[in-house]
A and B are shown apart, each in its own frame.
Chain A
Amino acid sequence: GAVVSQHPSWVICKSGTSVKIECRSLDFQATTMFWYRQFPKQSLMLMATSNEGSKATYEQGVEKDKFLINHASLTLSTLTVTSAHPEDSSFYICSASDTSGGFTDTQYFGPGTRLTVL
């Protein structure tokens, strides 16, 4: 149980275009999903916290107009990188909290999405 999927697993796009990444909790409901960014050989940096039905909360230094997050249902959150530039190239990882019981703050991670902007 507690599986999180991401789509696509990798994407290459041209500079200036927008890219949408989906994060789904497959077998549980997640009122909260998190989006992280990971640079090569570095740790995960939290970008934003996404709560179902409300606006996302962004970490300091993360441009909310650049990284649009939508959490429309209890099983789906999307991250849209708008007007992507080469410096946005990174590994984006989502996680979801299982709120059905037990430790409500246990996060289950998706496999990540590799974004390359040319």
Chain B
Amino acid sequence: AQRVTQPEKLLSVFKGAPVELKCNYSYSGSPELFWYVQYSRQRLQLLLRHISRESIKGFTADLNKGETSFHLKKPFAQEEDSAMYYCALSRYGGATNKLIFGTGTLLAVQP
């Protein structure tokens, strides 16, 4: 079964502390994984995707196929990072790639 698991509903850290938001997936094919972010009262937006291997707003995520994980990391958290983070898996559904979302993790960065 195709599934995305985010084990933490809430992650609270202090400003300047390292952050790791966990994401594990279950997928029989070659996965394409994403992190989406939703700031307060804003729409969902793409943060990064594993295929581009880039760092956005200081966040990085490495696909580990052995551990079936795609954890999101940032070395020093900022207050403006406080938001809801969703890990998502793209699965091919005919002519279209569809997204399967995890349940999300609320990151709260304390001053």
Q: Give the interface of A toward B (CB within 8 A).
A: 4, 32, 34, 42-46, 49, 51, 57, 93, 95, 97, 103, 105-112
A32–B101 Cα distance when bound, in Å, is: 18
A24 nearest CB across to chain B (Å): 14
For the complex, is B69 an interface residue (Cβ under 8 Å from A)?
no
Contact residues of B between 1 and 60, Cβ < 8 Å to A:
32, 36, 42-46, 49, 51-52
Asked whether, in the complex, the Cβ of B43 is within 8 Å of the Cβ of A111, the reply is yes
A45–B99 Cα distance when bound, in Å, is: 9
A contact face: mostly helix, strand, loop, or mixed: strand
A57–B86 Cα distance when bound, in Å, is: 24
Asked whether, in the complex, the Cβ of B94 is within 8 Å of the Cβ of A43, the reply is no
Which residues of the other chain, B, contact A43 by a CB distance below 8 angstroms? Answer: 86, 101-104
- What's the tally of chain B residues with a CB closer than 8 Å to chain A? 24
For the complex, is B83 an interface residue (Cβ under 8 Å from A)?
no
Which residues of the other chain, B, contact A46 by a CB distance below 8 angstroms? Answer: 98-100
Contact residues of B between 55 and 104, Cβ < 8 Å to A:
86, 90, 93-104
Which residues of the other chain, A, contact B101 by a CB distance below 8 angstroms? Answer: 43-45
Asked whether, in the complex, the Cβ of B44 is within 8 Å of the Cβ of A109, the reply is yes
Which residues of the other chain, B, contact A34 by a CB distance below 8 angstroms? Answer: 98-99
- The residue in chain B whose Cβ has the minimal distance to the Cβ of A32 is B96
A13 nearest CB across to chain B (Å): 23
B65 nearest CB across to chain A (Å): 20
Which residues of the other chain, A, contact B96 by a CB distance below 8 angstroms? Answer: 32, 49, 51, 57, 97, 105
- The residue in chain B whose Cβ has the minimal distance to the Cβ of A109 is B44
A4–B103 Cα distance when bound, in Å, is: 23
Would you mind naming 20 contact pairs between A and B with Cβ atoms under 8 Å apart? A4-B43, A42-B103, A43-B102, A43-B103, A44-B44, A44-B86, A44-B99, A45-B101, A46-B99, A49-B96, A51-B95, A51-B96, A93-B44, A103-B51, A105-B32, A105-B96, A105-B97, A107-B46, A109-B43, A109-B45
